[in-house]
Each structure stands twice: as C-alpha cells, then as structure tokens.
Amino acid sequence: MSKETDYLGQNATIEMILESVPNSEEYVRQVLSNMTGMNKQCAVRIRIGGSRGSPDYIIDELFFDDDDPEHTGQPVPMKAFNGRTHKEIVDFEFYERDHWAYNGLSFREVQAILGRLLGIGSFSGS
C-alpha cells in the first residue's frame, strides 16, 4: 500500500472517510444509486489501495439462508465502481480481497448517512 493510502485501514467504511471525500453528499448519493440495483440486499466496501479523495467501492450482494433470514447474509462481490466517476470497473483484479476494506455498510446504513448529509435525519429515497 502506498503512503498516500496508509490512512485507510482494513476496517474503513464510507462513513469514516467522508471528511476527505470531495462533495461527499453526491458521492454517497451515487453509491446508494448503484446499490439500488441489487434489490437493497447488499453492502458496500471501499477500496483501501487507492488515492485520497473519492475511493473506489465494491458492492457485495447478500445471500440469506432461508432457515435464518435474520442472520447477516453471505456476501458475494458483484460489482466494483470507480469512486470518482461511479462507473463500473470491469478489470477483475479489482475484486481481489486484499484491495477492499473488510467492513461493509448495508443499503439502510448508506441511506442513513445520506439522510444525515442532507440534514433530514433519515432518507427513504430510491
């Protein structure tokens, strides 16, 4: 990892890095938009091997056990996105586990972050 990215540890989340993200409200809005396509059964993790600013992110779809629907679903990486453009990254090396933070935020958690950024407490938009 470069010195530029040492500030991001394996436990980093979007919420922890918002102060360093330019136009954090739009960043979170775009992340949430990309998560919406997964039927809201997903989590987002940020790339820890990028540069400061708007980190790339990966969306994991969560698969739940029918016998235990309350248990956190098994995450499966589905799509990665460029943090600046929010366009899908199709280079499969980006999917390797050591590039990504271990902790993900659920759709509802990202929705709540956007609500706080908008100053409305909670946000229930698309």
pLDDT in tens, 94-103: 667 668 888 8
- Answer yes or no: is 29 within a domain: yes
Percentage of residues of the chain with pLDDT beyond 70:
79
Domain containing 82 equals 3-118
Total structural domains within the chain: 1
Predicted structure pTM score: 0.81
- Answer yes or no: is 125 within a domain: no
pLDDT tens digits along 38-90: 777 899 999 887 667 899 999 998 887 777 666 666 788 889 999 999 999 88
- Answer yes or no: is 16 within a domain: yes
Residue among 97, 102, 116 at smallest CA distance from 32: 116
Residue among 81, 104, 96, 77 at smallest CA distance from 13: 104
- Answer yes or no: is 84 within a domain: yes
- Answer yes or no: is 30 within a domain: yes
- Answer yes or no: is 124 within a domain: no
How far is the C-alpha of 68 from the C-alpha of 77, rounded, in Å? 21
